[in-house]
Amino acid sequence: DQPLTEEYCLYKKNGTCGACVDACVGALEMSGKPMTVEEIRQMQLDHQAAAARAVKAGFDGVEIHAVHEGYLLDQFTMEWTNHRTDEYGGSFENRCRFAMDLLDAIRAKVGNKLAIEYRISAEELIEGGAEMPETIEFAKLMVKDHKNLMVGGVLASIQPDELEKATGIRPH
C-alpha cells in the first residue's frame, strides 16, 4: 500500500489541473479482475431493480453516474481501462455496449415511467481516456437508440451551441 500523495494524481501528472480528488489518486495502480458476463448481467438486474424502486417511490427520473476515470461504468467506455477481448471490449461499439445494454435493461423494466439521464465525462484529460470526438459519437449513439434519454456531463471544453451543431443534442 502506497500513501495517497499528489505524485499519484493523474491530473498533476498530466499538468492539467492543480486540484486532486481522492477518486483519481492511486488510479495508476488499478487492480482487480474483469467482470464476468454473468456479473455484468447481475449489474443490469441491480440497476433495473433500483429504477423500479425509484418509480415505486414516486420519482420522475434517475441519473446514472458514469463519469470520472476509474468508476465502473466509465471503465467500460475508456480504452485506458477496458482491455476486454469479448463483446464488451475492443472496438468503440463494443466499449459502449455495457452502457447500451444497461439502458435497455432499465427501459425493459420501467418503460417510459422514468426519465433517465446518463451522465458522462466529455474529456478525461488522460491518455486513453474520453476525448471530445468519441464522447460526441457516444452521445449520438445513446440518443439514437434511446430517444428519451438525457445525456449530460462535463462539457467545459465545448460550447452548448457547438455541441448541438455537432450532435443534434440540445444541452439543458
Which positions are annotated as active-site residues?
71
Q: How far apart are CA 108 and CA 149, in angstroms?
A: 14
Name the maximum alpha-carbon separation found in the chain. 47
Q: Which helix (H) or strand (E) is 153 found in, with range?
A: strand 149-154
Residue located via cell numbers 481516456: 129
Q: How far apart are CA 24 and CA 11, in angstroms?
A: 8
Q: Which amino acid is at 106?
A: I
Q: Do residues 79 and 21 lie in contact, with contact meaning Cβ atoms separated by under 8 Å? A: no
Q: Do residues 118 and 96 lie in contact, with contact meaning Cβ atoms separated by under 8 Å? A: no
